[in-house]
Amino acid sequence: NCCCSPSYTLQHSQMTFDKAAEACSPGHLTTVLNKHELAHILDLIPEAEPPLIRGSFTFWVGLRKDKRECVVPEFPLRGFKWTADDSEETQVSQWAAEPELTCTAVQCAALKAQVDSSNVTDWGLIPVRCETKHRFICKHNDSHTPQPPKPTARIQVECWTAGMQVEIRCSGQPALWRLLDGSVANFTSICVPCDDGFRKNSSGKCEDIDECREKSAPCRNTCQNTPGSYRCVCTDETGEVVSEDSLMCNDTAGTADKRLDSGLLVPVLVAVVGLVVLVVLFAVMVKCCVMRRSKRRAVKKAEKMSMNSKDEKKPAI
């Protein structure tokens, strides 16, 4: 039945993940559920207008991991879910780059394709910050080719307490003021300041600040991000993660320092011995040169005295 056959469109406009998802409405960012759907998507890329002739290109697909979900390396989609139905189903899973292990940060995924002439020579999923801008592929569950989205009314809400602006749009069915992720804007809470360790994103929602990634955590060893805060940890001799302030962590750090000191001591001693040897060789060479020059002067002086003695013994004429 043609009414149930999905269609796919490649959009060249580069947008953030949320804006790309909105632009696909009434459809959604594409899924990649099986080899058949993957073939449709890969065939669509080299046929794009204007054509993508050669190079590496990145396209948003409908994969996202919320901040309360964890990345799971053993899962085919690594803990990401399809935004179309909130599922983790797929029969094809090929990652060109593994996502960072986290249970707090929001992550999105894109399809990266290597195009050469009219063929896709390689492809893979990659984790990407949701705020970056890329081309995107839409999936529509009907036979009609979607038209470009119509402009929607939008305003900037000035949040004085949070020191930022939040963009909202009048869109959707029914038409309501919505945030960039499509959720209905709540004007009683949109500008409420976030708790410590969180900050407003472009959608007006509080998101965790990753102190470890932003290098603001004063950890001596390993930084581990937590919701609203962070932990400074290290790994003890048994491989267990412990607090940086614990005795085991200090012992491990002290052992590492001792190993580092011993590792540095050997090359330093070798360098010192080598320098001493060079100095001794140089002193011996200088002494040899001085002795040779003194010997030559003595020989010349003896020869000169011998000649003077012979001249004195000659009879006067």
The range of the structural domain enclosing residue 99 comes to 7-140
pLDDT per residue as tens digits for the range 115-153: 887 788 999 999 999 999 999 999 987 544 444 444 556
Q: Are residues 77 and 123 in the same domain?
A: yes
Domain tally for the chain?
3
Q: Are residues 42 and 131 in the same domain?
A: yes
For position 122, what pLDDT does the model report?
Answer: 92
For position 148, what pLDDT does the model report?
Answer: 46
Q: Are residues 124 and 163 in the same domain?
A: no
For position 108, what pLDDT does the model report?
Answer: 95
Give the pairing of strands 164-171 and 176-178.
antiparallel
Per cent of the chain over pLDDT 90 is 25
For position 128, what pLDDT does the model report?
Answer: 94
Query: Distance between CA atoms of 237 and 174, rounded to whole angstroms?
Result: 59
pLDDT per residue as tens digits for the range 29-88: 999 999 999 998 998 888 776 777 788 899 999 999 988 888 999 999 999 999 988 899
User: What pTM does this model have?
Assistant: 0.50
Decide if 303 is inside a domain.
no
Q: Are residues 158 and 216 in the same domain?
A: no
Query: Distance between CA atoms of 201 and 182, rounded to whole angstroms?
Result: 14
The answer for residues whose C-beta is within 8 angstroms of residue 273's C-beta and 6 or more apart is: none
Q: Are residues 37 and 67 in the same domain?
A: yes
For position 287, what pLDDT does the model report?
Answer: 84
